[in-house]
């Protein structure tokens, strides 16, 4: 056990480090906790815990830190997996504590303190799918003590696996009712606090993000830990298609029989499995493309040892040359429907999504591949391929989406309006 402090009366310490079998040595100090008073703060391999000092059985008044009700006798804990940042803030007076130990030995009344904030998350009490921000401010009269704590906490959170360091962000300013940019401005401080580098592109037209994703080199893409979409389902699918269109290689499914007949009549028989060229890795099993699902072309849910991931994982029949195992896709909801976010996080909350991303929380995502065979003899060559993460529409649904674009100014209600209009047109669709 290592004691960090300046040797003030309450901080009398015999600096020592307890280290078991290479584990993170636990550290302990007396610090001042905003709104609580003097506490003994401990750091161990799992996280932080603290307990108020100098209280008696009668001192059972309550206060709140990290949104948790504290009584003077209760030890409070937060795991490193739920901490995303720690930072030194301007010195100044700590808030007068609620607990009677506020006038403890660490601090004379009105003393100036150096302070650091631990930024964490916790589940909302009213909706367990939501993260809420939770902060805790610790103080000490000695700057060096604060700095040592900041470094120790940073060392520990940097060891958390799967957290991104560098992200490519696309913002659709017209998402929903034009709230993409505002949504990004709301969550951007979470990324900067967590020291995640971001390269932000605000699109200037439909198809802009597709073009960037389709043309970016694998080398550049792999300098990022993932792509984050600030927008709705349509925008996410656009980026997904840009990402996969030139990178996902897999045999096509068999062509429909009517297509084959029609093609034969035109003396133009295509072999549906006459697949996409340039698949040099076809038979080489990429160690990053583990799958637990049945062998079929395309993407499937995957599980890696002891955890799930939301990186699109291809089966052995398909090639998805991503050297970066941790490459992930993220969405911060700003759209009209946001079905993908609701399905993957259980909530439609930009802050929850941003926190999931900086904390490296992942979930698998199935991707559907839609192959559109062309029927004209002039269209020999690869069929048209699309990818979808939430749904693929044809006929009535396709018409509704197309029509709804004329009423984007209405916001989400445009789908109801366009749906009614297209329904009343009473079109027929061949399937």
Distance between CA atoms of residues 290 and 49, nearest Å: 38
- Of the two residues 318 and 344, which places its CB atom closer to ligand ATP in the complex? 344
- Of the two residues 44 and 404, which places its CB atom closer to ligand ATP in the complex? 404
Distance between CA atoms of residues 134 and 84, nearest Å: 10
- Of the two residues 226 and 231, which places its CB atom closer to ligand ATP in the complex? 231
Q: Is 345 among the residues that bind ligand ATP (CB under 6 A)?
A: no
Distances (CA, A) of 108 to 81, 104, 116, 146: 35, 8, 19, 18
What residues act catalytically? Answer: 233
Neighbours of 285 (CB within 10 A): 9
Q: Which of residues 202-221 bind ligand ATP (CB under 6 A)?
A: 203-206, 208
Q: Which of residues 150-179 bind ligand ATP (CB under 6 A)?
A: 172-176
Stretch that binds ligand ATP, among 9-17, 135-143, 197-205, 216-224 (CB under 6 A): 197-205
CB 290 within 8 A of CB 305: no
- The residues with which 380 forms a beta bridge, in sequence order, are none
Distance between CA atoms of residues 290 and 312, nearest Å: 11
Site string for ligand ATP, 278-317 (x = CB under 6 A): ----------------------------------------
Minimum separation from the CB atom of position 70 to ligand ATP (A)? 41
Q: How far is CA 31 from the centre of its chain?
A: 33
Stretch that binds ligand ATP, among 213-221, 230-238, 304-312, 377-385 (CB under 6 A): 230-238
Minimum separation from the CB atom of position 202 to ligand ATP (A)? 8
Minimum separation from the CB atom of position 174 to ligand ATP (A)? 5
Which residues contact residue 116 at a Cβ distance below 8 angstroms, ignoring those fewer than 6 apart?
86, 87, 88, 89, 137, 138, 139, 146, 149, 150
Give φ, ψ of 306 to 5 degrees: 75, 0
Distance between CA atoms of residues 238 and 206, nearest Å: 9
- Of the two residues 55 and 203, which places its CB atom closer to ligand ATP in the complex? 203
Q: Is 349 among the residues that bind ligand ATP (CB under 6 A)?
A: no
Q: Is 232 among the residues that bind ligand ATP (CB under 6 A)?
A: yes
The DSSP element (H or E) to which 241 belongs, if any, is: helix 233-245
Which of 38, 338, 349, 399 contacts ligand ATP by CB under 6 A? Answer: 338
Binding site for ligand ATP (CB under 6 A): 172-176, 203-206, 208, 231-235, 238, 335-338
């Amino acid at each position: 056990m290592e004691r960090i402090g300046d040797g003030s009366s309450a901080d009398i310490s015999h600096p020592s480090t307890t280290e078991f079998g290479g584990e993170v040595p636990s550290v302990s100090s007396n610090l001042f906790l905003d709104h609580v008073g003097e506490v003994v703060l401990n750091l161990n391999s799992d996280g932080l815990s603290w307990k108020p000092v100098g209280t008696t059985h009668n001192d059972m008044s309550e206060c709140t830190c990290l949104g948790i009700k504290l009584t003077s006798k209760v030890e409070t804990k937060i795991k490193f997996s739920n901490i995303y940042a720690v930072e030194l803030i301007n010195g100044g007076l700590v808030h007068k504590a609620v607990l009677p130990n506020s006038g403890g030995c660490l601090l004379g009344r009105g003393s100036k303190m150096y302070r650091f904030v631990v930024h964490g998350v916790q589940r909302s009490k009213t909706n367990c799918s939501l993260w809420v921000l939770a902060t805790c401010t610790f103080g000490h009269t000695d700057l060096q003590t604060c700095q040592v704590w900041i470094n120790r906490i940073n060392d520990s959170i940097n060891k958390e696996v799967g957290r991104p360091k560098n992200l490519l962000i696309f913002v659709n300013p017209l998402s929903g009712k034009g709230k993409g940019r505002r949504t990004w401005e709301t969550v951007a401080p979470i990324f900067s606090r967590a020291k995640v580098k971001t390269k932000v592109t605000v699109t200037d037209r439909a198809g802009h993000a597709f073009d960037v994703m389709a043309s970016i080199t694998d080398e550049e893409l792999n300098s990022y830990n993932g792509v984050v979409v600030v927008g709705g389902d349509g925008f996410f699918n656009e980026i997904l298609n840009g990402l996969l269109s030139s990178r996902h290689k897999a045999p096509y499914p068999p062509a429909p029989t009517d297509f084959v007949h029609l093609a034969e009549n035109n003396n133009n028989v295509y072999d549906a499995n006459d697949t996409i060229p340039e698949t040099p890795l076809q038979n080489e099993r990429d160690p990053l493309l583990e799958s637990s699902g049945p062998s079929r072309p395309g993407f499937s849910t995957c599980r890696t040892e002891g955890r799930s991931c939301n990186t699109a994982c291809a089966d052995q029949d398909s090639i998805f040359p991503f050297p970066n195992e941790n490459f992930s896709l993220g969405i911060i909801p700003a759209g009209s429907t946001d079905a993908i976010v609701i399905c993957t996080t259980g909530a439609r909350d930009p802050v929850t999504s941003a926190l999931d991303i900086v904390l490296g929380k992942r979930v698998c995502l199935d991707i559907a591949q839609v192959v559109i065979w062309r029927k004209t003899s002039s269209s020999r060559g690869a069929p048209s391929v699309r990818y979808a993460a939430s749904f693929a529409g044809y006929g009535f649904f396709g018409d509704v989406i197309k029509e709804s674009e004329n009423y984007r100014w209405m916001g989400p209600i445009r789908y109801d309006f366009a749906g009614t209009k297209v329904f009343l047109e009473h079109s027929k669709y061949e399937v």
